[in-house]
């Protein structure tokens, strides 16, 4: 067991408040690559309980989850984004409260946690992420900065009458630091990022949030994430007033205890948690995002620019498509490259003949089924050509031949390479989609 594990007050604090910790786990272990996490010091059989923690030791951003002067102040403030509430909770216990019940936990965060999230990266570093889902959409101007988000959503709350936060704590530096803890350590609070190229989460009260989160779980958050299901060996469970986890498989001595932070792509892991699993198996949650502006630009050029009549026809079809939920801010392409039915349907509706469109408009259909993907027809060539142009313009958004001289640049290159790989599989999917049906009884074309 590491000296830090044997001596750190966090574990003594957790035990003194009713937690139980498996004696054969070094919660402050370090891998050969230098990554800190939980490691088995002896073989642990499947089914063994690894950790049990009272729910009252969690830090939560929902109303009613805190007490005392801070709770009273926040109640007077009215509606506040739960992420902001949790940030204020963490900051209060870290810098304001005397003898905080979470003292050892927030002290550990202050001493050891320094997340290198993209929201802190320079413009030069962010250029390496151009075109990726981290800074989306790729043609957006730079999104809100940490300073701007603080000034708009946080400073006004901290400055309200009766504030429990002294003036010296109302600054963007502390905000950035504690917000990075909330982003990278909290559970059950999927962040909403505005679709404006920003790496700062949406902190307004109008953001859609989950009622059960976010919450920070001391000690359990020492276990790292794996995107590969076969590598994970535990997960969080709930039992009345306790949260707990058990070994879902045998854990060998020296093996890391790994959990899952959620179904996140590598781009999302980097943007929210500040890491990517460069050497792991391919993340099954990886995806390619295609922006609405690219799709509409291609449709406009191919089907709406020849004549005023064509422009009016396309505008009418796009309006119906929007009403049926086909015009989205982004279209996701999964790791296998299969195109989303909404995007395929949108392109088909924009390009189909007048009789087909009239039939579609009079129907209650939203997405066209696979049998409507017109394999092997002249229309298939039109649809395939449009989709391939969308993919070409999407690929053109990625920067070329960048030097990877830092860890940030290597992470960015990994995300780019993953997305370009999906894009190329999507291109193969589209070409296959537009080819003649392999089951057709027609004679294959002869070579010339």
pLDDT tens digits, 418-445: 999 999 999 999 888 765 544 444 444 3
Look over the chain and give the mean of its residue pLDDT values, rounded to a whole number.
88
Asked if residues 132 and 419 have their Cβ atoms less than 8 Å apart, the reply is yes
pLDDT per position as a tens digit, 152-176? 999 999 999 889 999 999 999 999 9
Beta strand 224-225 with 258-259 is parallel
Overall size of the chain counted in residues: 448
* Mean of pLDDT values over 248-258: 97
* Mean of pLDDT values over 28-38: 88
Inform me whether the pLDDT recorded for 4 exceeds 60. no
Inform me whether the pLDDT recorded for 299 exceeds 60. yes
| Least confident segment among 186-190, 242-246, 338-342, 344-348 | 186-190
Report angle CA 142, 291, 202 to the nearest 5 degrees. Answer: 50
* Mean of pLDDT values over 128-155: 87
* Mean of pLDDT values over 23-51: 93
Report pLDDT for 247: 98
Q: CB-based burial of residue 229 (10 Å sphere; 0-12 exposed, 13-18 middle, 19+ buried)?
A: exposed
Q: What is the CA radius of gyration of the chain?
A: 26
SS3 54: strand
Burial of 82-104, coded b for 16+ CB within 10 Å and e otherwise, reads bbbbbbbbbbbbbbebeeeebbb
Report pLDDT for 211: 56
**DSSP codes of every residue in 392-440:** HHHHHTS--S----SHHHHHHHHHHHHHHHHHHHHHHHHHHHHSPPTT-
User: What is the spatial distance between Cα 88 and Cα 72, in angstroms, rounded to a whole number?
Assistant: 13
User: What is the spatial distance between Cα 418 and Cα 288, in angstroms, rounded to a whole number?
Assistant: 8
pLDDT per position as a tens digit, 374-416? 555 678 888 999 999 999 999 999 998 888 889 999 999 999 9
* Mean of pLDDT values over 289-317: 94
Report pLDDT for 206: 65
The residue that leads in pLDDT, 3 or 90, is 90
pTM of the model: 0.89
For 393, half-sphere exposure in the C-beta direction (CA atoms, 13 angstrom radius) is: 19
Report pLDDT for 291: 95
**DSSP codes of every residue in 72-100:** HHHHHH----HHHHHHHHHHIIIII-TT-
User: What is the spatial distance between Cα 439 and Cα 230, in angstroms, rounded to a whole number?
Assistant: 37
Report pLDDT for 212: 60
Report pLDDT for 370: 53
Ranges assigned E (strand) in 8-82: 20-21, 25-30, 36-40, 49-54, 59-60
* Mean of pLDDT values over 125-138: 91
User: What is the spatial distance between Cα 191 and Cα 448, in angstroms, rounded to a whole number?
Assistant: 57
- 5 falls in which pLDDT band (50, 70, 90)? low
Report pLDDT for 143: 64
The two structure tokens encoding residue 119? 């929201």
User: What is the spatial distance between Cα 176 and Cα 418, in angstroms, rounded to a whole number?
Assistant: 29
């Amino acid at each position: 067991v590491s000296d830090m594990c044997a001596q750190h007050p966090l574990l003594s604090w957790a035990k003194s408040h009713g937690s139980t910790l498996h004696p054969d786990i070094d919660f402050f272990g370090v891998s050969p690559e230098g990554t800190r996490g939980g490691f088995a010091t002896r073989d642990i059989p499947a089914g063994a309980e690894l950790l049990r923690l009272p729910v009252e030791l969690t830090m939560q951003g929902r109303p009613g989850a805190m007490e005392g002067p801070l709770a009273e102040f926040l109640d007077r403030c009215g509606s506040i984004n739960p992420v902001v509430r949790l940030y204020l909770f963490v900051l209060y216990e870290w810098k304001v409260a005397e003898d905080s019940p979470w003292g050892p936990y927030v002290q550990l965060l202050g001493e050891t946690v320094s997340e290198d999230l993209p929201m802190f990266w320079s413009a030069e570093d962010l250029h390496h992420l151009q075109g990726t889902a981290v800074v989306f959409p790729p043609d957006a101007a730079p999104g809100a900065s940490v300073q701007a988000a603080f000034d708009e959503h946080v400073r006004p709350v901290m400055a309200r009458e009766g504030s429990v936060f002294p003036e010296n704590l109302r600054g963007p530096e502390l905000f950035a630091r504690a917000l990075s803890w909330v982003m990278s350590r909290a559970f059950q609070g999927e962040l909403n990022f505005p679709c404006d190229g920003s790496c700062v989460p949406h902190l307004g009260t109008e953001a859609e949030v989950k009622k059960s989160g976010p919450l920070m779980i001391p000690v359990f958050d020492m276990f790292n994430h794996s995107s590969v299901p076969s590598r994970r060996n535990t997960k969080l469970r709930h039992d009345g007033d306790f949260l707990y986890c058990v070994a879902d498989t045998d854990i060998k001595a020296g093996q890391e205890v790994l959990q899952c932070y959620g179904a996140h792509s590598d781009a999302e892991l980097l943007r929210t948690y500040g890491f990517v699993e460069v050497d792991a198996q391919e993340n099954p949650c990886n995806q390619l995002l295609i922006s609405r502006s690219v799709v509409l630009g291609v449709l406009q050029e191919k089907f709406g620019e020849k004549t005023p009549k064509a422009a009016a026809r396309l505008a009418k079809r796009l309006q119906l498509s929007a009403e049926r939920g086909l015009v989205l801010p982004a279209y996701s392409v999964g790791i296998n490259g299969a195109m989303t039915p909404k995007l395929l349907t949108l392109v088909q509706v924009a390009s189909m003949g007048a009789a087909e469109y009239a039939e579609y408009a009079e129907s209650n259909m939203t997405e066209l089924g696979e049998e409507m993907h017109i394999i092997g027809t002249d229309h298939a060539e039109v649809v395939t050509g449009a989709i391939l142009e969308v993919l070409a313009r999407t690929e053109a958004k990625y920067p070329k031949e960048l030097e990877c001289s830092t860890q940030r640049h290597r992470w960015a290159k990994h995300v780019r390479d993953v997305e370009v790989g999906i894009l190329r599989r999507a291109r193969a999917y589209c070409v296959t989609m537009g080819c003649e049906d392999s089951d057709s009884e027609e004679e294959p074309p002869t070579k010339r």
